Structure 1
Amino acid sequence: MKDEIRLNAFAMNTVGHQSPGLWRHPRDRSADYRHLAHWLDLARTLERGRFDGIFFADVLGVYDVYGGTPDAALRAAIQVPANDPLLLVPAMAAVTEHLGFGVTATLTYEPPFPFARRMSTLDHLTGGRVGWNVVTGYLDSAARAAGRPRQVAHDARYDLAEEYMEVVYRLWEESWDDDAVLRDRASGVFTDPAKVRRIRHDGTHFQLDALHLSEPSPQRTPVLYQAGSSSRGRAFAGRHAECVFVSGPSAAVVAPRVRAIRQAAAEAGRDPDDILVFAMMTVILGETEAAAHARHEDYLAYADPVGALALMSGWTGVDFSRLRLDEEVRHVENDAGRTAMDNITRADPDRVWTVRQVAEHVGIGGIGPVMVGDPGQVADRLEAFAQATDVDGFNLCYAVLPESFEDIADLLVPELTRRGRYKRSYGSGTLREKLFGRARLDCSHPAGRLRCASGTQAPRRP
């Protein structure tokens, strides 16, 4: 069992995120998502709790599968309205020193050239604390917003993603030598043109002939996150991901997914232990067990079952409004996200879910487990979950914001630290250095291989 349990905060630049209806709770402040002070306060809380980072989810569409309209999502604030997560990062970085930022960005609808510059800019402004959660999209509403009749078929999205990664890797890793920028005031030469190269790509999905506009950032390629658990998603993660986000209602569901991801890394020629795996989890804490359960009951009173089904309909592509509450949920193959449906139809052969049970389960914490108890009890369960699944840490959802994260920082973190299962202080350097002990991707990774082959990494100056 690994000694250190790692924690990320799982959030979104929206209302509610993973717990439909909880925005109505009198102590919840997620509806303040429009105000910068809200996010700055959260950043300070997370750094006080020594979280590795905040993992920002995002979607580029609305959940309009339930009932065939966006009405349920709009009424219940099911991840709409939603603002751009990338714009929060520089401000949150300015009030913290160590907190990392994993931002979700969908590659399907944005050309790689401007996106590569945006991520390099964030890496510069944060001092190397940014990561990219690579997603291909799963909502038809997002495709229509981008001028397409429907989303690209599931496996075809990964074909496009492979080429996209090749292009951005070349921009980040090949275009500029580490010592291309001279900043030589005496000679008047800022950049040595001989150490900047044009990237040319003529592929199936993308054509490019350009210099990367940003000089090399601290990490060059941001830390790479990925969350796909389908067979194609696992293969993609094994080839590209440094951190993988998994979800499932129990350790029995999560464990084989972790094994499959590590196997995919080995098949891609990488060390399976070079991937950090984070499981989605919601913890509800109290100073005593009774206080924790009272808080859980309080939260449940605000859960919105229709909102939960609207969220699940968007994740799975299945219109739950057409099913009776006591009807069993059965597997359907489609081009939406497959993991959410697998969680309730295939992953646990000993359990058959009804629509009512799905609504109750998703009501707090989405499709991940919910742990309720005092700090010692929750720490015990997290340790047991990590032991049973081989995960490296957890992406922790909130039920009530910022209360959930304040409780983790003030109650859970001290308990994990006392047990020797949590870092007593942050390490130095970039996000990748904190997580893996190196600032740049090594030569076993596809991006690192490009840099190693091209010789763009010059010897470090004293």
Structure 2
Amino acid sequence: MTQAKRHIHVNAFNMNCVGHIHHGLWTHPRDQSTQYHSLQYWTHIAQVLERGLFDGLFIADVIGYYDVYQGSVDLTLREGIQLPVNNPWLIVSAMAAATKHLGFGLTAMVGAHNPYTFARDVTTLDQLTGGRIGWNIVTGYVDSGARGLGQNGLAEHDSRYDRAEDFLELSYKLWEGSWDDDAVIADKARRIHTLPDRVRPVTHDGPFYRAHAIHMSAPSPQRTPVLFQAGTSSRGLRFAGRHAEGVFIGANSPEAARAASRKLRQAAVEAGRRPEDIKIYAGIAVVPGRTQAEARDKHAEYLAHASAESGLAHFAASTGVDFARFALDEPIQFGNANAIQSATQTAQQQGWTTRRKLLEQFALGSRYHTIVGDASQVADELERWIDIGEIDGFNLTRVVVPETWEDFTDLIVPELQNRGRYRTQYGGASGSETFRQRLFGRGDRLPAHHAGASFRHVPESAQDTSGPHRASSASSASSARTA
């Protein structure tokens, strides 16, 4: 029997700003990203993506701004390099109201929030969207953001992950352990909304956070949102292995994607999980046309508006290196980065050792791999990345908004569907499903072998008293903490 081909998962990759990944393209006459502060802009994008049966809209964010290149924020401001940037969380309710199925992967930096109030924010959105929320966990990578938060600069790279571990442990306790599923009965006749004996405070005394409190919100459909992460440093891999359900990788070839995927899946196994517990998305750009010639012409048109230097300025912030200090062909000294370690590693591994070589990578304003061609050619390449790269799907970055996603929906989705590689409708008995159910098909909640599930409250009547068992999830769970 022939094995069924795996469906390709696709998120749209965006940011609540003008210039996200492909810098300079906001100047294209058909691009509408300067309308990012309009709700109509976002609701239209959401409706296009739902028509294209995308998994979700993955919205990046950064706390701070890019002032490493030329030691200034001037180029960032002139070119709109992710500045100005607005809050991604505040636009979701409008998009959710305009759609029924689309998921939302939202970025939030650990150091800019408190777990107690952040947990309520997430639960609120998960309730309002019917369980369509994911959280992209980031630890920060620009000193400007740390200074804005009252610090002298970023904390050391690995210690930022230690803080994220502590943040998540307290969040799990709130989401998973504070309220029972049957706590809310809303009995008007008896004047009982919530049963007090079904709610309990959590206690947490960690290295970064302390709390003794009841979660302020009743459980949402997913309780814990779908957890995304993007770091692939050695410390990031350990963190992803324990927590991440979706991981976003950067790779310039299917072979590079395969190497990253195998490391991530092995990290999950080492954390007591299964290789298939992580969905892996590669960042990619697609420039399709109805013919090969049309696609090539469109790509050339896009190149004319792109800014390679802006892409380099963005990359400078990612690595912490001011590339403007080096002559075009002068060897670049990367040193030990405290920003995104994987970005520095990629540059060194690929031999991007001079400013000239780096600028060549940013011809379209970004170093993302770009596929140009007609529907058949693009589908061939996407399948090659999935099959050779051992990944699950793609974060499809915008080049021109909303043209990129309209083209993918109209040209590429039908081709992939004809090949049996893309869904033909959203699932769910009532036509809707939670984000986690869509991705894994195993229910709305975290699986039992995920670290977060160990913080669930287990009623005394259900506990196994014949031997060692997990303590109440609402109590201290220090044994679940990793260094």
The TM-score normalised by the length of structure 2 is: 0.92
2:360 match: 360
Distance in structure 1 (CA, Å) of the matches to 2:64 and 2:459 = 39
Distance in 2 (CA, whole Å) between partners of 1:214 and 1:352 is 49
- Determine the C-alpha separation between the residues in 2 that align with 1:188 and 1:287: 63
d(CA) in 2 for partners of 1:174, 1:299: 50
Contact 2:116–2:215 (Cα < 8 Å) also in 1: yes
Is 1:444 the equivalent of 2:466? Answer: no
- 8 Å contact kept, 2:309–2:362: no
Shift of 1:327: 3.0
Q: Which residue is equivalent to 1:460?
A: none
One-letter code aligned to 2:135: W
Matched residue SS, 1:444:
coil
Show the 5 A alignment for 1:171-182.
171-182=174-185
| Paired residues of 1:248 and 1:367 also in contact (CA < 8 A) | no
Tell me: CA distance 1:78–1:195, structure 2 relative to 1, closer, same or farther (3 Å).
Answer: same
Residue 409 in structure 1 maps to residue 409 in structure 2: yes
Q: Map 1:107-256; keep pairs closer than 5 Å.
A: 107-256=110-259
| Distance across 1 between alignment mates of 2:436 and 2:385 | 25
In structure 1, the residue matched to 2:438 is: 434
Aligned to 2:480: none
Residue identity opposite 2:310 in structure 1: G
Counterpart-to-counterpart distance in 2, 1:329 and 1:246? 24
Q: Are 1:331 and 1:342, in contact at CA under 8 Å, matched by a contact in 2? A: no
- Deviation at 1:331? 3.7
**Residues 34 and 180 (structure 1), Cα distance of their counterparts in 2 relative to 1, 3 Å cut:** same
Alignment of 1:74-89 (within 5 A): 74-89=77-92
**Residues 136-192 of structure 1: CA deviation (Å, up to 9, x unaligned):** 000100100000001111001111111111000000000000000010000000001
Alignment of 1:312 with 2:315, yes or no, is yes
Shift of 1:251: 2.0
Counterpart residue number, 1:370: 370
Q: Does 1:38 align with 2:41?
A: yes
Q: Aligned partners of 2:375 and 2:345: how far apart in 1?
A: 31
Deviation at 1:353, TM superposition (A): 4.5
CA distance in 2, matches of 1:251, 1:192: 53
> How many percent identity over aligned positions?
49
Amino acid at match of 2:426: Y
SS for the counterpart of 1:239 is helix
1:16-73 per-residue CA deviation (whole Å, 9 max, x = no partner) reads 2001111000000011101110001000000000000000000010000001111111
Aligned match of 1:67: 70
Displacement of 1:324 after TM fit? Answer: 1.6
Checking the alignment, whether the CA contact within 8 Å between 2:306 and 2:365 is kept in structure 1 is no
Residue matched to 1:104: 107
Q: Which residue of 1 aligns with 2:61?
A: 58
Q: Deviations over 1:254-313 (max 9, x none)?
A: 221111000000000000111110000000011111110111111111111221111111
Mapping for residues 331-342 of structure 1, pairs under 5 Å: 331-342=334-345
Shift of 1:365: 6.3
Offset of 1:362 from its aligned partner?
A: 2.8
Distance 2:183 2:239 in 1: 32
Q: Quick one: which amino acid aligns to residue 448 of structure 1?
A: A
* Equivalent of 1:286 in 280, 286, 289: 289
- Alpha-carbon separation, structure 1, partners of 2:461 and 2:78: 52
Is it true that 1:27 corresponds to 2:30 in the alignment? yes
**Secondary structure at the residue paired with 1:442?**
coil
Deviation at 1:363, TM superposition (A): 4.2
Are the equivalent residues in 2 in contact too, given 1:417–1:424 (CA < 8 A)?
yes
1: distance between equivalents of 2:206 and 2:369?
Answer: 42
Tell me the amino acid that sits aligned with residue 378 of structure 1: V
Higher deviation after alignment, 330-339 or 27-36 = 330-339
Residue 376 of structure 1 aligns with an amino acid whose one-letter code is: S
Q: Please say if residues 292 and 374 of structure 2, whose CA atoms lie closer than 8 Å, have aligned partners that are also in contact.
A: yes
Matched AA of 2:89: L
Q: How many residue pairs are counted as aligned between the two chains?
A: 455
Contact 1:281–1:365 (Cα < 8 Å) also in 2: no
- CA shift at 1:354, angstroms? 3.1
Residues 66 and 455 of structure 1: is their aligned pair in 2 closer, same or farther, counting only changes over 3 Å? farther
For the residue of structure 2 that corresponds to 1:103, the secondary structure is strand
Query: 8 Å contact 1:13–1:56 — kept in the other structure?
Result: yes
Distance in 1 (CA, whole Å) between partners of 2:128 and 2:360 is 42
CA distance in 2: counterparts of 1:363 and 1:214, whole angstroms: 47
How many angstroms does 1:330 deviate by? Answer: 4.7
Is the 2:257–2:390 Cα contact (8 Å) retained in structure 1? no
Q: List per-residue Cα deviations over 1:356-389 (Å, max 9, x = no partner).
A: 2322323436332011000100100111111111
Distance in 2, matches of 1:63 and 1:147, equals 17
Distance across 1 between alignment mates of 2:363 and 2:21: 8
Which amino acid letter does the alignment assign opposite residue 185 of structure 2? L
Per-residue CA distance 1:369-427 (angstroms, 9 max, x = gap): 01100010010011111111100000000111101110000000010001000001011
- How do 1:240-279 and structure 2 match up within 5 A? 240-279=243-282
Q: Which whole-Å deviations, capped at 9, do the CAs of 1:111-138 have from their partners, x for residues lacking one?
A: 1111000000010010000000011000
Residues of 1 paired with 2:329 and 2:20: CA distance? 26
Alpha-carbon contact 1:249-1:343 (below 8 Å) kept: no
**Higher deviation after alignment, 99-108 or 441-450:** 441-450
Amino acid across the alignment from 1:439: D
CA 1:452–1:277 in structure 2 vs 1: closer, same or farther (change >3 Å)? Answer: farther
1:203-240 CA distances to partner (integer Å, 9 max, x unpaired)? 21111111101000000000000111100101100100
Query: Which residue of 1 is the match for residue 14 of structure 2?
Result: 11
Query: 8 Å contact 2:110–2:167 — kept in the other structure?
Result: yes
How many Å separate the matches in 1 of 2:281 and 2:461?
32
